[in-house]
């Protein structure tokens, strides 16, 4: 099926003479209108053509005949729940119709069944309880068959609510339509020819909004359902006169008759074929009744031309007042921007880049401040605690026991042993050293430094505005984890390999021994302090006298060495099992404190502890020396394998996370999480939009002035030549 071309000699299709040059400006003015819509200011706008009509008037079909494509959702009980702001852009070079949903970031849609479904889903997303939403759906259609127009499709008027429709639906539709019917918008009032215009909901609403009928175009659909003479009377209506007149159209071709022309003739046409059938039927019908429609404006093609002409003239008339309103709003916005933000420009991309740059600078400073000495302190402290745990387990701890004395030698004997012959103390230190060197220093040290770096990164984030963005904080932490995890296993293995010799032999210099002696004395002193604090805290909780009674009782039992004593019978003496346990803890702490004092005095003052050969008598010093050896060697590899790699790759991982992986919309969403930044960016965007709109509108006004000047020059020239 092919489209019948317009007849060149048909005056009905050629009676509309419009300045082609000014029509070319319509697209620019529509572009300005869309810019102004983003500013969201009721006092600054250019007009659109607002389409209204009852649900049975053929309103949707009129729009689809203008577009030349079925795209609006339909149904027996389908009610448009949101206004559709439709921008049509003529693209002569395009091969097909293309639809876009700018607000949804959906572009280049060529499947109009998909467009129809998207519109249906967007309408159905409005809850039934809400009935109607004022939030418009923005659709742009580019096609070689559409004129440059700006249309608004509003929900159709209903006479009576259906049983499944809310009672307030009728009122909500009326209120929404009234908002769009305000000046300077052009009203396209759709009425059916087979319904008395006195009952037309669209004309009734337009008369309320436009009493003088100066900006209303009447469209009469379904001309084929009435005889041509009746249709003519409707189009030349004097009872409901409109300055812009009426246009008669046929927006649907008759359905094929079942059985006529074979089986396939019963198939209903859709898409572009339906448009071709409608256009051909309308053209044929009007041509067959040409005399009846003489002096009337009929046909979808003429409707398009009329809409273009009216919209261009209405927009042109609104340019100067809109230009003035934009100037005033720009001055107000610029002043507010200067007062609140000191004219400092800010975009989401700038905000993100500034914060990431601050984070990178912080990482650079961290590379100077968090280096080998800091690593050494972290690892040394952790290994010192491991040494204290091993010493407590193998040397210092002496749990209270009511039974016979232990067969193990007393720690006090350690000061008097024969270094060469005492196998017990030799073996104890060797086993303790082995436990220390085989506790998994590689993974321990790598975990420690990894966690320390993550903590430092969190501190860096807290010093930037990223602290106000939970998702960004997590992304920075993930970036740090990614870099560190890439080197985790190789670093742990390298450290473990480098300390392997210490598992078999440890050689110490006198200088190292003396340094470790000082460290051991400090550790013993701190351990004594903590032990004493725990004892006094226990004493405070139980009470000094009560605790002493329990301790005295337990010591007597110990002296009797009665292994058959059942402590549960102590309830008769007023000592509960909990109190007995507290007493045992007190005895344990007293004994441990006594041993620690003895070891502290020996390590600090004994001449034996001045020589590394006496390591079996001074295990605290020797183990500290082992820790120092392990720490110093481990740090060399941690610094090279982990830290240097982190400081190099972390900034690059940040770029990957925040610039390569985030879309423009995600960056904008991120920046606007901070209310203050959101206000700054939105005010900047508003100022930019106003400046852009002002520049474009001044360009259009300049073209208007040039056109007017040329027109006046031509008129003057004709007067001089022809004497008019």
pLDDT for the residue 11: 40
DSSP code of residue 648: H
Residue 262 has pLDDT above 50, yes or no: no
What is the arithmetic mean of pLDDT over 93-101? 89
pLDDT for the residue 471: 86
Q: How confident is the model at residue 401 (pLDDT cuts 50, 70, 90)?
A: low
pLDDT for the residue 267: 57
Give the mean pLDDT of the chain.
85
Residue 587 has pLDDT above 70, yes or no: yes
**Burial category of 311 from C-beta neighbours within 10 Å (exposed 0-12, middle 13-18, buried 19 and up):** buried
| pLDDT: which is higher, 168 or 50 | 50
**Burial category of 374 from C-beta neighbours within 10 Å (exposed 0-12, middle 13-18, buried 19 and up):** middle
- Which of 450, 579, 599 minimizes the C-alpha distance to 517? 599
- Which of 205, 156, 211, 214 minimizes the C-alpha distance to 181? 205
pLDDT in tens, 507-538: 889 999 999 999 999 999 999 999 999 999 99
Lowest mean pLDDT of 135-149, 232-246, 552-566, name the range: 552-566
Residue 130 has pLDDT above 50, yes or no: yes
DSSP code of residue 119: H
d(C-alpha 224, C-alpha 55), whole Å: 19
Residue 501 has pLDDT above 70, yes or no: yes
- Which of 6, 10, 16 minimizes the C-alpha distance to 245? 16
Residue 452 has pLDDT above 90, yes or no: yes
Phi, psi of 86 (to 5 degrees): -105, 120
pLDDT for the residue 14: 38
Q: How confident is the model at residue 712 (pLDDT cuts 50, 70, 90)?
A: low
Instruction: Say which residues have a Cβ less than 8 Å from residue 242's Cβ, sequence separation at least 6.
Output: 213, 216, 217, 218
pLDDT in tens, 339-391: 999 999 999 999 999 999 999 999 999 988 887 888 889 999 999 999 988 88
Could you give the angle at which helices 300-341 and 59-67 cross, rounded to 10 degrees? 90
Instruction: Say which residues have a Cβ less than 8 Å from residue 723's Cβ, sequence separation at least 6.
Output: none
Q: How confident is the model at residue 266 (pLDDT cuts 50, 70, 90)?
A: very low
Residue 9 has pLDDT above 50, yes or no: no
Helical (H) or strand (E) element with 575: none
Helical (H) or strand (E) element with 53: strand 49-53
pLDDT for the residue 263: 38
Q: How confident is the model at residue 260 (pLDDT cuts 50, 70, 90)?
A: very low
Contact yes or no for 625/513 (Cβ under 8 A)? yes
| pLDDT: which is higher, 485 or 40 | 485
d(C-alpha 579, C-alpha 547), whole Å: 8
What is the arithmetic mean of pLDDT over 427-448? 90
| pLDDT: which is higher, 247 or 583 | 247
How far apart, in Å, are the Cα atoms of 625 and each of 279, 348, 383, 389, 597? Answer: 98, 55, 11, 16, 21
Strands (E), 207-332: 216-221, 246-248, 297-298
Residue 397 has pLDDT above 90, yes or no: no
pLDDT for the residue 489: 92
Instruction: Say which residues have a Cβ less than 8 Å from residue 481's Cβ, sequence separation at least 6.
Output: 454
- CA atoms 343, 345, 351, 356: torsion sign: negative
| Terminal alpha carbon distance of the chain | 52
Lowest mean pLDDT of 37-51, 255-269, 657-671, name the range: 255-269
pLDDT for the residue 711: 64
Instruction: Say which residues have a Cβ less than 8 Å from residue 244's Cβ, sequence separation at least 6.
Output: 186, 213, 214, 215, 216, 217, 218, 306, 310
What is the arithmetic mean of pLDDT over 74-80? 65
Q: How confident is the model at residue 410 (pLDDT cuts 50, 70, 90)?
A: confident
Instruction: Say which residues have a Cβ less than 8 Å from residue 365's Cβ, sequence separation at least 6.
Output: none
What are the DSSP calls for 413-437, one per residue?
Answer: GGGT--TTT-HHHHHHHHHHHHHHH
d(C-alpha 75, C-alpha 84), whole Å: 17
What is the arithmetic mean of pLDDT over 131-158? 90
How far apart, in Å, are the Cα atoms of 591 and each of 59, 112, 397, 535? Answer: 98, 88, 8, 11
Helical (H) or strand (E) element with 551: helix 544-560
pLDDT for the residue 48: 92
pLDDT for the residue 394: 85
- CA atoms 702, 705, 711, 716: torsion sign: negative
**Domains of the chain and CATH, by start:** 11-332 (3.40.50.300), 355-668 (no CATH)
Show the 3-state SS of 343-375: CCCCCHHHHHHHHHHHHHHHHHHHHHHCCHHHH
Q: How confident is the model at residue 477 (pLDDT cuts 50, 70, 90)?
A: very high
What is the arithmetic mean of pLDDT over 623-645? 90
Residue 261 has pLDDT above 50, yes or no: no
pLDDT for the residue 370: 85
Specify the pairing of strand 246-248 against strand 98-101.
Answer: unpaired
pLDDT in tens, 10-23: 444 334 444 455 55
Contact yes or no for 304/6 (Cβ under 8 A)? no
pLDDT for the residue 505: 84
Share of the chain above pLDDT 70, in %: 86
pLDDT in tens, 269-318: 666 777 888 888 999 999 999 988 998 999 999 999 999 999 988 988 88
Q: Partners of 221 in the beta sheet?
A: 192
pLDDT for the residue 354: 92
CB-based burial, 685-703: b 16+ in 10 Å, e otherwise:
bbbebbeebbebbeebeee
pLDDT for the residue 359: 93
3-state SS assignment for residue 107: strand
Helical (H) or strand (E) element with 109: strand 106-109
């Amino acid at each position: 099926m092919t489209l019948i071309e317009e007849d060149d000699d048909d005056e009905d299709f050629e009676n509309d003479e419009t300045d082609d040059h000014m029509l070319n400006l319509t697209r620019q003015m529509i572009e300005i209108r869309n810019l102004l819509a983003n500013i969201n200011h009721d006092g600054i706008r250019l007009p659109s053509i607002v389409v209204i009509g009852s649900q049975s008037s053929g309103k949707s079909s009129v729009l689809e005949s203008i577009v030349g494509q079925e795209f609006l959702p339909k149904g027996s009980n389908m009610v448009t729940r949101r206004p559709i702001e439709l921008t049509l852009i003529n693209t002569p070079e395009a091969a097909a119709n293309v639809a876009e949903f700018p607000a949804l970031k959906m572009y280049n849609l060529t499947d109009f069944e998909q467009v129809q479904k998207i519109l249906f889903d967007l309408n159905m997303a409005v809850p039934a309880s809400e009935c109607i939403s004022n939030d418009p759906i923005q659709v742009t259609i580019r096609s070689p068959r559409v004129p440059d127009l700006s249309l608004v499709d509003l929900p159709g008027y209903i006479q009576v609510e259906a049983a499944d429709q809310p009672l307030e639906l009728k009122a909500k539709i009326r209120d929404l339509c009234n908002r769009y019917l305000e000046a300077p918008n052009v009203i396209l009032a759709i009425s059916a020819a087979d319904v008395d215009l006195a009952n037309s909901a669209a004309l009734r609403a337009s008369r309320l909004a436009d009493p003088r009928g100066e900006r209303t175009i009447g469209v009469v659909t379904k001309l084929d359902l009435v005889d041509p003479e009746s249709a003519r009377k409707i189009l030349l209506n004097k009872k409901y006169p409109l300055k812009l007149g009426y246009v008669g159209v046929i927006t649907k071709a008759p359905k094929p008759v079942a059985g006529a022309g074979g089986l396939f003739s019963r198939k209903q046409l859709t898409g572009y074929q339906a448009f071709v059938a409608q256009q051909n039927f309308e053209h044929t019908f009007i041509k067959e009744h040409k005399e009846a429609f003489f002096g009337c404006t009929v046909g979808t093609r003429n409707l398009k031309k009329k809409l273009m002409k009216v919209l261009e003239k209405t927009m042109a008339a609104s340019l100067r007042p809109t230009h003035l309103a934009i100037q005033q709003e720009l001055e107000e916005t610029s002043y507010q921007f200067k007062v609140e933000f000191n004219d400092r420009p800010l975009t989401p991309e700038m905000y993100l880049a500034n914060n990431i740059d601050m984070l990178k600078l912080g990482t650079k400073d961290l590379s100077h401040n968090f280096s080998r000495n800091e690593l050494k302190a972290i690892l040394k402290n952790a290994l010192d605690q491991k040494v204290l745990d091993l010493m407590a387990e193998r040397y210092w701890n002496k749990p209270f026991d009511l039974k016979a004395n232990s067969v193990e030698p007393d720690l006090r004997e350690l000061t008097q042993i024969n270094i060469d012959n005492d196998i017990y103390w030799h073996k104890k230190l060797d086993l303790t050293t082995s436990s220390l060197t085989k506790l998994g220093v590689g993974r321990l040290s790598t975990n420690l430094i990894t966690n320390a770096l993550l903590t430092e990164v969190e501190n860096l984030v807290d010093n930037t505005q990223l602290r106000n963005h939970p998702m960004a904080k997590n992304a920075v932490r993930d970036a740090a984890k990614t870099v560190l995890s890439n080197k985790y296993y190789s670093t742990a293995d390298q450290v473990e390999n480098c300390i392997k010799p210490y598992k078999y032999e440890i050689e110490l210099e006198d200088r190292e021994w003396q340094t470790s002696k000082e460290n051991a004395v400090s550790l013993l002193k701190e351990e004594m302090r903590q032990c004493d604090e725990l004892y006094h805290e226990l004493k405070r909780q139980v009470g000094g006298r009560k605790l002493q009674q329990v301790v005295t009782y337990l010591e007597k039992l110990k002296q009797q060495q009665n292994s058959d004593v059942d402590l549960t019978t102590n309830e008769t003496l007023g000592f509960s099992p909990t109190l007995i346990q507290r007493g045992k803890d007190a005895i344990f702490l007293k004994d441990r404190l006594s041993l620690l004092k003895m070891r502290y005095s020996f390590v600090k003052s004994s001449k034996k502890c001045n020589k590394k050969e006496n390591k079996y008598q001074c295990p605290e010093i020797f183990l500290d020396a082992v820790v120092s050896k392990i720490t110093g060697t481990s740090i060399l590899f941690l610094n090279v394998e982990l830290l240097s790699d982190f400081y190099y790759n972390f900034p690059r991982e940040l770029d990957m996370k925040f610039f390569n992986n985030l879309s423009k919309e995600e960056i904008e969403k991120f920046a606007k999480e901070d209310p203050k930044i959101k206000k700054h960016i939105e005010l900047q965007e508003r100022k930019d939009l106003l400046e852009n709109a002002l520049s474009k509108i001044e360009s259009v006004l300049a073209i208007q002035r040039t056109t007017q000047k040329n027109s006046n020059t031509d008129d003057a020239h004709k007067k001089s030549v022809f004497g008019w």
